[in-house]
Amino acid sequence: MKYREIIYHTDDKVAVITLNRPDKLNAWTTRMADEIQDATVTAADDDSVNVIVITGAGRGFSAGADMSVLQDLGEGKSKAKDDQPKQTPQDVRPDFKQKYAYFPAIPKPIIAAINGPCAGISLVMTLFCDMRIAAASAKFTSAFVKRGLITEYGGAWLLPRIAGLASAMDVWLTGRIFDGTEAKELGVVNRVLPDEGFLDAVMDIAHDMANTNSPRSMRVVKHQVWESLFQDLDSALDLAHEEMNASIKSDDFKEGVAHFLQKRAPRFTGK
């Protein structure tokens, strides 16, 4: 798929997806959504990539749905064969096959590096990322209730599970604007970093994860955590026992012990 609204590159085992409509504050389009899907699946299939970072070009992450530009590819309209995004893994629960809810099906950690305004559908998209890191001055808003709309694409289900019921009601019912610092207080983001050198700092985190953690372990842990949203404790414990037994037999476990005892950098294979 030819990318027109994102930039994709890899950097030392980290794939970086940059929303690239800076003149429109990276406003969300159907084309952009398809390109993000294609890029994340490309990263998932690339054995040299262990972590994915999504950020925005210019001074914003994404201002939400583009309401002024005629979509070149509307919802439900046919696309040229070459414009079809790669399909996400199909051997996952049906919930993660829904539109915009497929990030949990990508078997690698996805970090949202929220460098500026993040509104509406783009805010929902970040909730499906595995980690959200915001610049202190980043501005957040749901805006749906300001437009006569409702919380879309699973945001009303997911945010209470991330931030709690009270914070979710605050975000979705008020439609107010809040900054990165308050986003951390509300539980909407994991971390807040200074504006200066923000993306470099996020990349340092991503590079550390990509180069010092077992790709296999991260893949399994991500599956455990997302699956737990649908499990009772008994099922979660059964899965943990099963996965721990498999981990002990893995090459990455052997390497994890070896590099620690030998006091050297790890050479994980993801197997």
CA 84 to chain CA centroid, nearest Å: 21
Total domains in the chain come to 2
Residue 232: CATH number of its domain? 1.10.12
pTM over 0.85: yes
Residue 175 lies inside a defined structural domain of this protein: yes
The upper half-sphere exposure of residue 210, i.e. CA atoms within 13 Å in the direction of its Cβ, equals 24
Question: Does residue 217 sit in the same domain as residue 180?
Answer: no
SS3 assignment for 153-206: CCHHHHHHHHHCHHHHHHHHHHCCCEEHHHHHHHCCCCEEECCCCHHHHHHHHH
Residue 270 lies inside a defined structural domain of this protein: no
How far is 34 from 195, CA to CA, in rounded Å?
29
- What torsion, rounded to 10 degrees, do the Cα atoms 120, 122, 128, 134 define? -100
Range of the domain at 222: 213-262
Residue 28 lies inside a defined structural domain of this protein: yes
How far is 66 from 175, CA to CA, in rounded Å?
17
Question: Does residue 132 sit in the same domain as residue 168?
Answer: yes
Residues 152/102, Cβ–Cβ less than 8 Å? no
Residue 128: CATH number of its domain? 3.90.226.10
Give, in order, the Cα–Cα distances in Å from 34 to each of 30, 129, 141, 143, 167: 6, 16, 23, 23, 30
Question: Does residue 190 sit in the same domain as residue 217?
Answer: no
From first to last of its 271 residues, what are the pLDDT tens digits of the chain? 899 999 999 999 999 999 999 999 999 999 999 999 999 999 999 999 999 999 999 999 999 888 765 444 344 454 555 577 777 766 777 788 777 789 999 999 999 999 999 999 999 999 999 999 999 999 999 888 888 888 888 899 999 999 999 999 999 999 999 999 999 999 999 999 999 999 999 999 999 999 999 999 999 999 999 999 988 999 999 999 999 999 899 999 998 999 999 998 899 998 9
Question: Does residue 32 sit in the same domain as residue 144?
Answer: yes
Residue 166 lies inside a defined structural domain of this protein: yes
Question: Does residue 223 sit in the same domain as residue 145?
Answer: no
Give, in order, the Cα–Cα distances in Å from 261 to each of 41, 50, 165, 240, 265: 36, 24, 45, 26, 11
Question: Does residue 152 sit in the same domain as residue 234?
Answer: no
Residues 29/69, Cβ–Cβ less than 8 Å? yes
Question: Does residue 24 sit in the same domain as residue 141?
Answer: yes
H or E segment to which residue 133 belongs: strand 131-135
Beta partners for residue 128, in sequence order: none
Token pair listed for 224: 């455990």
